[in-house]
Amino acid sequence: MRARDDSSGRIGRTAALCVAASVVAFAAAPARTATPAGTPIANTAKLTFAAADGSTPTLTSNTVTLPTAEILNVTIAADMPTRATRGNETVAVGFVVTNTGNGKEDYTLAVSSAATGVSVDRLAVDSDGDGAYSATADQTLAPGAALALTPGQVVRVFVLVDAAQIGAGTAITARVTARTGSGAAGTTFPAAGDGGSDAIVGATGATATAATQLSPTAGLPTLTKSQSVFAPDGSSRAIPGAIITYRLVAGFVGATRGVVIDDPIPAGTAYVPGSLRLDDAALTDAGDADAGSAGAGAIRVALGDIAGAGSRTIQFSVKIQ
């Protein structure tokens, strides 16, 4: 239905969205088997009696018809009540909207943030229904108009936020409201429902709100690799017998747990035994008490938990066969 746009309760920058039912991300079975709004309820009575001639004639009453009222109900839930963000990534904040009423309904989705400078006007629908945002697979939504859902239909909407805008305490709030009307349960909008039925506000008030708290964390670790070559003839040519020394620098901007670095031995080369080092300290090749191990196939250094910002350097050598 299309009646009114309830935009109350918006804070910060607000965006509304529109998508037709044909492009809704995914559908779920109705939560209950309610009679669809607008379904005619017809009733005719009959009367039989014993006539003097011994027959039992039947008389029918007039038929009365009443369209089933549309119940306006909706729910919304955040994919994650809290979510950590890192660096400058684009964060796809997911909200799942469900039409829990018994009629086809248009909804306004108002997205907002009280945080200064946080943009919430980039929206997308989970078109392939996989629960994850894809720039190529999911439909971008322009702000405005309505989200159209059939009874029991579910759609996930992503709000795309730049992590660089996010500060401590940033929350993204989404409010969904039936366009036909909202308010106290029992509020009636005459003839505004499907098939000309009355539309009646259900227990949810035909509006619902959900929020995700975003928490910026330290940026992602980095891993940089360099190499140097020393050949038997004293040159730096990559000829058989030359030694390639690899240097790996792992950088950390904050506390990081369970760090492990693996590096395969390149084809056409052989690991030089005893060449594995961590921060200029030698590591044994065996898988023993120290952090490293090395063999014909790969080297591994288990750094474990990193307490804070800093870097660790790993070095090893291979010989060109």
Q: What is the pLDDT of residues 276-287, one digit of tens each?
A: 999 989 999 998
Domain with CATH 2.60.40.2260 in the chain: 222-320
pLDDT digits (tens, 9 = 90+) for 107-149: 999 999 988 888 888 999 999 888 999 989 998 887 765 889 9
Model confidence at 267, pLDDT cuts 50, 70, 90, reads: very high
Cα 158 to chain centroid distance, Å, stands at 6
Task: Give me the mean pLDDT over the 250-268 stretch.
Answer: 91
Query: 261-280: string of b/e by CB count within 10 Å (b at 16+)?
Result: bebebeeebebbeebbbbee
pLDDT at 19: 41
- The pLDDT, as a whole number, for residue 16 is 45
For the chain, where do the domains classified as CATH 2.60.40.10 start and end? 21-36+69-217
The domain 21-36+69-217 is classified under which CATH number: 3.30.470.20, 3.30.2130.10, 3.40.50.300, 2.60.40.10? 2.60.40.10
Architecture of the domain whose range is 222-320: Sandwich (2.60)
Torsions phi, psi of 126, nearest 5? -75, 75
Give mean pLDDT, residues 214-224.
80
With a pLDDT cut of 90, the percent of the chain lying above it is 68
Q: Which residues contact 22 (CB under 8 A, 6 or more apart)?
A: none
Q: Which residue has the higher pLDDT, 170 or 261?
A: 261
Q: Could you report the per-residue pLDDT of 50-78, keeping only the tens digit for each? A: 999 999 999 999 999 999 999 999 999 99
The pLDDT value given to residue 162: 85
* pLDDT given for residue 282 in this prediction: 95
Neighbouring CB atoms inside 10 A of 143's CB total 15
Of 307, 270, 277, whose CA–CA distance to 292 is shortest? 277
Please choose, from the candidates 194, 177, 157, the residue with its C-alpha nearest in 3D space to the C-alpha of residue 4: 177
Taking the whole predicted model, whether its pTM rises above 0.75 is answered as no
pLDDT at 10: 33
Average confidence (pLDDT) over 169-182: 93
Contact 242, 232 (CB under 8 A): yes
264: pLDDT strictly greater than 90: yes
Residue 144 has a pLDDT of: 65
pLDDT score of 71: 96
Work out the percent of the chain whose per-residue pLDDT is above 70.
88
Task: State the virtual CA torsion across 116, 118, 119, 123 in degrees, nearest 10.
Answer: -140
CA–CA gap between residue 277 and residue 197 (Å, rounded): 78
Note whether 156 and 25 are within 8 A (CB).
yes
